[in-house]
Structures are given as structure tokens and as C-alpha cells.
Structure 1
Amino acid sequence: MPTSHRSVSFRGGLIQFPTTPSDTPRRNSARAMPSVMRQRVRLVGCCTAQLSVSRSTSVIPGWNTMGRARDAAGSTGWRAGRWTCPYCPQRGRAAGTGWSAMSMATEGGAAAASPTDPDFKRPAFLELFFDLVYVFALVTLATTLAENLTWTGAAETLVLLLAFTMIWALTVWGADSLDLERPSGQGQLIWVAAASLLLAAAAADAYGDHALLFAVTYVLIHASTSVYYSLVAPSRTLLPSVIRIQIWEGVAGVGWIGGALVGGSGQLPIWALAVVVEYSAAGFGWPVPGIGRSRARDWRLAGGRVAERYRQFVIVALGVSIFVTGTTFSMSEYTMERAWALAVVFGTVVLMWRIYIYRAGELLTEAIARSSNPGLLTQSAAVTHLIMVAGIVGAAVTSHLVVGRPWGETPPSWAAVILGGPALYLVGRGVLDFTVFGRISRSRSAGLVLLACVAPATPLLPPVLVALLAMTVLALIAAANLVSTRQHARTPAPPMLR
């Protein structure tokens, strides 16, 4: 009788386990493997899986054991220890016995599967609906900054942007534990979307009459989310993190509401301090005496899904730039100068998309899968995308200014945003390079130098020409990326994280 096999898919191929010890399992029907019975081994790295394997009667060919990963051939098989996978540069760790079901998992978070893998968890349609609210939020921030283009206005906009992105990031991370097919999960996400819509509506006058509305809504979003995860959908792994976050958000909430009540010139410093408290606490894992701090593995992030959500957020920001460009053009008198300005700012948006996706943005999922700590790398990638989104918002402000008045004098504040948006974007893109490839591309640094060289000439140039020079710098970087990748194919090599 033919022997039946049980199979587990890897990113690198397939391993088949026969039901009888006499048969030899195969990897991709080529590499010999030992006979196996019943003991669980957990692999951490790009070959992330939990396998129902057993005491092996021989050493697995190609696997270099380290420490006490196994007993002598023919004895008790694998024990807790470390080894190196021959099919990828990452290391795994034996993690005990007694597991049964075959499923994807890692210690630093869920494995980042390829979109073509059956285990890949795609963002739900409701999450894309949720992002529509943030289109409105970013449009509001961009147009508000364009109308108040001062250092104070920039600081006010940055504080609000950080507040919105904190809600977005925590919602994305927490959604991994939500069952968005159930009414309770859908209701939670819709509630956050509705409250965020109110928050975005109040943002235009957040430093005026709507300050208290903005602050109370912001604090309420965090508080209600904590209540939901604590009572309605409790998770043993997520609950401690929820408690820590709520404690710190409670501290920051005092600043948000206090700043709104103070108003005037004291509001911005107090709100800025509240944001610093939030992001500093997040950077250190929301440490709380007695219950410790959160670690990346506590979130059990599905790297492939979260990476796709990050990409979607970048697309949302780019869409905001296009929306502002088109709206400004349609509301202005049609002239050939404005048509040229429209082409320049649209070209800038296209180049930002190209530079992002080629190749680090495209390979982020694979980099997370190869990381020694996928969960931590997933969370770190959020910072890089925040920086890039801030740069894209700057590009949206540029669209509003340049399309509205392409010729004439370029004030210093205009030059700062026209050149500063692409510069900030390149900084974030450089950090993404390091996240995915473990190094920063020289073209990012060269682009920043070129933008700095353009700055002294801006008082002599009209806004549209300053924007054209910034676009030219981005075009050179995109071309350098294309040439470099064709000459030397790049594969993800994320930095070692603990």
C-alpha cells in the first residue's frame, strides 16, 4: 500500500513526513530527511513553522546543530538548543515538546508569510475602510499647515500628526487579535473610525475653539479601546500590554485635556509634552513598575499583514497629495503655468511612490520573515513609515502652494516645505533601507546633500522651479536605484535584533 504523507510548507519549500518510520521524507522531493515520529520542534527564522516531528533515527542532513540540539543519532532526538537552517541564513531554536497541530509561528511574532502562501493573513476589507478616515485627517492637516505656514504652525501640525499615527498604529497592531468576521470586532473598528472622523473634523481648529473636543475624543479613543480588549475580547498575551498602554495613555491624557483647558500659548507645549510621553513610553515598551514592560513578541504580529498595512498607509498619504493637487488646481484659474506646476508636483508624488516600493517597500514582508526578531522589526518599521508619511504630508502642502501660485517670490517658509518634504521622506526611506537590508543606500545621503545645495538659491527662483529641482533630485535617486539593483540584485538582510 502506498504511504500517505503529511506536509508542511516553508518559505523555502516543502517537507513531507511519512506515516511509517521506514519511509524517507523529502524536501522538495530531493533532499533526504530522517524518519520521524512524534515530538514537536519549533523553527524560528525564515523557515518559521511548528513541525510535528519526533525522535529522529539519524541526523537531519544539512542542519548544523549547535549546543545540545540533539542527542546521539538513534537516541532521544531533538532537545532544547539552537541550529542553523541550511536553506536560509537565520537560526532556529528547539522549543520543547508536546505540541500537536501544524501551524505557523515565531517567538518574535507570527511569521511573515508570502502573499502567495495559504497562511498569509491579508488585511480585512474593513481595515481599508478604516483608512478612509485617515485620508480626511491627512488632508485636514496638510491644508491647515498650508494656511498657517510658520514654525509654530509646523509644530502644531506635527503634534496632531503624531496623535493620529499613534491611534492608527495601535489599531493596526491590535487588529491581529481581533476576529473581524465577528460583529464585536467589526464594531470596535467602526467605533475607532467614527471617533477618528470626529478627531479629524476637530483638527482644523484644534488650537482654538475645538481644542477640548479634540483632546477628549483622543483620550476617549484610547480608553474605550483598552476597555474593549480588557473586557469584551480579552487576550492572555495582549492583556498585560493593554494595561500598560492604558496607564501611560492615562498619564498623557492629563496633558491632552490640561493643555486644551489652558489654551493660548501654553497649549502647544503641554500637548507636545503629552506626545513625547506617549512615544517615549512606546519606545521603551510602556514600562510599569511591578508588571514590567511589553515586548515585541507579546503582540504576536503577523509580519506579512502588518507590512501590507504599512504600505497601505503610505498609499493613503500619497493619495492625499494627489487629492490636494487636484483640488487646488480645480479651484484656481486655469493657466499654462499652473498646468506645469500640476505636472511637477504630480511627478514628485509618482517618484516618491517609486522610491518607496523599489525595493525596500516591496521586500519588507520578506525582511520581517528573515529577521531574528520579527515582532520588533515590525514595530520598528512603523517609525520609518511615520517619517515618510510626514514627508509626504509636506509634499501635499507643496502641492497646495505651488499649484496655487507657481511664479513669484519663494519665501523661506515655502522653500523649507518644498525641499523639506522630500528631505524628510528620504530620511525615512533611508531608515527603511537599514530595516530591510541592514545598511543605508548612498543615494539617500547624496539626495539630502543635493537638496541642501539647492536651498541657498531658492530666494532667486520661483516656487515651481524649486519644486522642479526637488523632483529632479528624486528622479536621480530613482534612476540610481534602478541601475544599482540591476547590477547587483539585493536580498533582504535585516539587522540582528534581540
Structure 2
Amino acid sequence: MTRSSAGKLLRKPGDPQRATFLELFFDLAFVYVLTQLGRVLSQDLTWRGAFHTLVLLLAVWWVWCSTATVPDRFDPRRPTIQLLVIATLVGSLLMAVALPEAFGAHSLVFAGAYVTVQVGRSIGLLIALRGHELQRGALRVVIWFCVSAVPWIAGALVHGTAQEALWVLAVAIDYLAGKLRYLTPGLGRSPPSELPSAAEHLAERHRQFFIIALGEMILVSASTFGGGGFAPDRTTAFLVSIAATVLIWRIYIYRAGELSASAIANSRDPARLGLSAFYAHLVMVAGVVVAAVGAELVIAHPAGRPEPALIAIILGGPVLFLAGRSRFEYVVFSRVSWDRPIGLLALAALTPLMLLVPPIVAAVAAAAVLAGIAISDAARARGRPPESPSPPG
């Protein structure tokens, strides 16, 4: 591909920054991915199960992030870019199918799909950009993903602690690469101009993935409720889970979610702020995945025994969400509203008491804390002019 034809793959400065149908189509695969992640956790409510879920979440999140930045830089209307994104979608679905047994019988399928997706997409861009100055950036990415491929595949060939250690190393390499802007001997690091910085596009992609996560929570709640009858306690548990979903959406979107595009655009370093927002969304999405598992378990057994692991799941989902939301608010406004840490403290204080009551009571208590935060947000905004974004730095 010549320099001129490679240049046609790039977005033009005047192109719309809105997410495209191709990106929405790609996101559909992650409804299933997040559902499968929830299965990993629900099948093993132990610290080890939580650890496995975290490692796998970091892996699939990096696939999404690495792919979401492609249409930010390149024109998604080009067949080459569409082919790369759709191929990644297929690979992501294969990873999702293998997720429940990723630390078991399907470890090689998961690792092989992950490596194929990350290395294959990067090599595709490397070839497509032949003769263009951005090819050096694509080469840096290929090299780093090839390095992390070694512990991914090696980990899939062993079991137990060895597999866990190798996959933690692989995840660390992938995230370190992004942090170092793919610093490579002889090639340097990617300059800020090569990093995703289209504010409206980045913010919209953040919101879309978070909505996908909420959709997974609704799907899990409705599927669990629909499979076991309309007993009063199950119906109550279902309604509480839907109320919690609505409250999470309301807390997320209020001001920070609405103004994230302006915050990124007005930042001195849009790429760095966009990366901070990505990490904040990772924590929030983790919270929604955990909350969905909690909703599933409560709807299935609303009056069951309050096992410590179950209570940790029910309250831990909102805790993770509020922690990530606090970070996101700081990214947009350089401060955190007082009701966020108060909500976190309230959930922590409720934990010992919830070990003495049925799971449905714990779910109601968690929803009540979220409702208090949503009401506080609304009361604080009443009669005041809308706050403008003021990102840090």
C-alpha cells in the first residue's frame, strides 16, 4: 500500500467524531463477554475466583480498549478497518465462550484467541500503513503484544499457580505497554499525536461501553427472574435489582458522564486524560459485573443464608462502582463530591449487619445507599447553574 493510499485510512480533521454503527456492532459482542465474566465469578465465590475474574476482566477490557482506539484514529468506513474490527469481534466471542473454563480446560483456547486478536489486528494495521509515518507506531504495538504473547501461551500450557503467575505477568506487560506509550528500543515511544484524543469520540465510547455493562445487568436479572416463577420474594428481589441498575445509571450520567467530552477537549493533555477515564470506567464496569452477579444470586435465593462471600458480592458491586465513579468525577472536575466517600463508608459499615439478615435485605440496603447518593446529587444541583468541567493539570 502506497503512502497516499495508507493515508486514506486516517480520519480527516473535519470528520464527525460520533461513534459509528461499526463500533456499536462491535460492542454487541461484549454483552456476552460480560455475561460470561459474571459466570466465572458466580461459579467460584472465593478470593481465588475473584482473582481469576479480575485477570480475565483486565484481558477482555484491553481487547476492547485496543480496538476502540482504532476508529478514533482511522476511518471506520474503510473496508480494511471494518475487516479488522469485525475479525476482532469474532475473536472476542471465541474468548467469551472459553471464559468460564479459561483457568481450566479451555485455557489454550482463551489465550490463543486473545493473542491472535491483539497481534493479528496490530499486524493488519502494520501492513495497511506500509510506507506511512504511522507504521512505526503500529510496529511498536506489534512488538509489545508479541512479548506478552509468550506468558499468555506459556500460562495456558500449565495449571494452577504457575498459570496464574504467568497470566498476571502477561496482563502487566500489556498494561505497562500502554502506560509507557509502547516504548521500544530503537523505535522510541509513541508521541502524543499518535494517541487517541478525539474528545467527543472517546467520551461517547466510554458511555457506550458502560451502557453495555448495564444492559448485561438487566439481562441477567430478567433471565434469572424469568426462570423461577413469580414468588413475592423473588419479584421483590428482581424489582430491587432493576432499581439499583437505574440508580447506577443515574449516578454515572449525572454531570461527569454528560461533560466528559468537554473535560477531555479542554485538558492540556487530552490523551492522558482520556486514558485516566478509561481506567475509571474499568473499575465502574467491574462494579456493574459484580453487581449483576449479586442480583442473580439474590433473585435466585432471596431468603437464603447470608454467606460472607454472597454479602461481599452484593455490597462489593456498588463499592467498586462508586470508587470508579469518584475517580471519573475527579477526571472531569478535579474534585470528588462528598456523598461518594460517605456512600462507600455506609456500605462498609453495613457489612457486619448484613451477615445477620437474608440476602434480599442486603440488596435493599445497597440500593438505599445508591438512592441516597442520587437524591443528594439532585438536591445539590437544584437552583444552581450547571457546573463547568475543570480537569486536573
Same fold per TM (> 0.5)? yes
Q: Distance in 2 between matches of 1:401 and 1:234?
A: 52
In the alignment, which residue of structure 2 is the partner of 1:414?
Answer: 310
SS at match of 1:256: helix
2:55 matches 1:171: no
CA distance in 2, matches of 1:110, 1:483: 43
Report the equivalent of 2:340: 444
Deviation at 1:199, TM superposition (A): 0.9
Helix, strand or coil at the partner of 1:422: helix
The residue number in structure 2 matching 1:132 is 28
By relative contact order (CA 8 Å, sep 6+), the higher-ranking structure is 2
| 1:240 matched residue in structure 2 | 136
Q: Indicate conservation of the 8 Å contact 2:123/2:142, yes or no.
A: no
Matched, 1:259 2:136: no
Aligned: 1:453 with 2:349: yes
Matches of 2:161 and 2:377 in 1, distance apart? 45
**1: CA distance, partners of 2:71 / 2:198:** 10
Give the C-alpha shift of residue 177 in structure 1. Answer: 2.8
One-letter amino acid matched to 2:33: A
Note the C-alpha offset of 1:331: 1.2
Aligned residue runs from structure 1 range 457-496, under 5 A: 457-488=353-384, 489-496=386-393
Distance 1:409 1:296, change over 3 A: farther
- What's the secondary structure of 1:491's corresponding residue? coil
Instruction: Find the aligned partners of 1:163 and 1:155 in 2 and give their Cα distance.
Output: 13
Per the TM alignment, residue 377 of structure 1 is displaced from its structure 2 partner at its CA by 1.2
Q: Structure 2: which 5+ runs fail to align?
A: 1-10
- Give how far 1:415 is off: 1.0
CA contact (8 A) 2:22 2:82 kept: yes
How many residue pairs match? The answer is 382
Deviations 1:108-152 (A, max 9, x none): x999xxxxxx86421110110101111100001112211211111
Residue in structure 1 matched with residue 217 of structure 2 by the alignment: 321
Cα distance, 1:341 vs structure 2: 0.2
**Rg larger in 1 or in 2?**
1
Give the whole-Å Cα distance in 1 for the aligned partners of 2:313 and 2:137. Answer: 38
Summarize the Cα distance change of 1:462–1:194 in structure 2 as closer, same or farther, 3 Å threshold.
same
RMSD: 1.8
Q: Deviations over 1:324-345 (max 9, x none)?
A: 0011111123210000000111
Structure with higher strand content: 1
Q: Which deviates more from structure 2 when the two are superposed, residues 366-375 or residues 233-242?
A: 233-242
Matched, 1:431 2:327: yes
Letter in 2 for 1:335: A
Task: Find the aligned partners of 2:131 and 2:297 in 1 and give their Cα distance.
Answer: 48
Change (3 A) 1:233 1:288: closer
Relative to the length of structure 2, the TM-score reads 0.93
Aligned residue identity for 2:388:
T
Distance 1:237 1:157 in 2: 39
How far, CA to CA, are the matches of 1:324 and 1:377 in structure 2?
A: 33
TM-score of the two chains, using structure 1 as the length reference: 0.74
Q: Offset of 1:364 from its aligned partner?
A: 0.5
Contact 1:110–1:300 (8 Å) recurs in 2:
no
Q: CA shift at 1:408, angstroms? A: 2.6
- How far the C-alpha of 1:409 sits from its partner, in A, is 1.7
Give the corresponding residue for 1:390.
286
Shift of 1:485: 2.0
Q: 8 Å contact 2:72–2:196 — kept in the other structure?
A: yes
Identity of aligned residues (%): 42
SS state at 2:118 partner: helix
Gaps of 5+ in 1: 1-108, 112-117
Structure 1 residues 235 and 369, CA gap change in structure 2 (3 angstroms) = farther
Higher helix residue share = 2
Provide the C-alpha distance between the structure 1 equivalents of 2:69 and 2:81, rounded to a whole number of angstroms.
14
The 2-side partners of 1:399 and 1:241 are apart by 43
Counterpart residue number, 2:58: 162
Amino acid at match of 2:327: V
CA contact (8 A) 2:129 2:135 kept: no
Judge conservation of contact 2:214–2:245 (CA < 8 Å) in 1: yes
Equivalent of 1:186, from 78, 82, 93?
Answer: 82
Does the aligned pair in 1 maintain the 2:329–2:335 contact within 8 Å?
yes
TM-superposed CA distance for 1:265, in Å, is 3.5
How far did residue 245 of structure 1 move?
2.2
Q: Distance in 2 between matches of 1:484 and 1:261?
A: 55
Q: Is the 8 A contact 1:237 1:298 kept in 2?
A: no
Farther-moved stretch of structure 1 (138-147 vs 445-454): 138-147
Displacement, 1:235? Answer: 8.1
1:149 is aligned, of 21, 39, 45, to 45
Give the 5 Å matches for 1:39-118.
none
Aligned to 2:6: none
Change (3 A) 1:313 1:340: same
